[in-house]
């Protein structure tokens, strides 16, 4: 796992924990706190989906690069 991936995961986990603690310690009514938790969870889910798409795109770029290198090597050996 690259350093950028580790950094992004650490940031997302830290944001989730900090957000959850902030919501739980806030002096709001229970219904308001539950609504905020749901909204924060949805936002986190969207962030993770975007991160997953980014990882998938990078993986596809690497695979395409390896395929291209393999094709060049194969053609030069022919």
Per 3-state DSSP, what percentage of the chain is helix, strand, and coil (rounded to 5)? Answer: 90, 0, 10
> Quick one: which of 13, 23, 18 has its CA closest to 48?
13
pLDDT digits (tens, 9 = 90+) for 11-35: 888 888 887 787 777 777 878 878 8
Q: Radius of gyration of the chain from Cα atoms?
A: 21
**Termini Cα distance of the chain:** 36
Judged against a pLDDT cut of 70, whether residue 78 lies above it is answered with no
Residue-averaged pLDDT of the chain: 79
């Amino acid at each position: 796992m690259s350093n950028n991936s580790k950094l992004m995961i650490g940031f997302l986990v830290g944001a989730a924990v900090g957000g959850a603690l902030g919501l739980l310690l806030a002096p709001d009514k229970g219904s308001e706190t539950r609504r905020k938790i749901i909204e924060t969870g949805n936002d986190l889910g969207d962030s993770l989906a975007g991160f997953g798409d980014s990882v998938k795109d990078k993986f596809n770029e690497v695979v395409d690069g390896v395929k291209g290198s393999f094709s060049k090597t194969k053609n030069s050996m022919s």
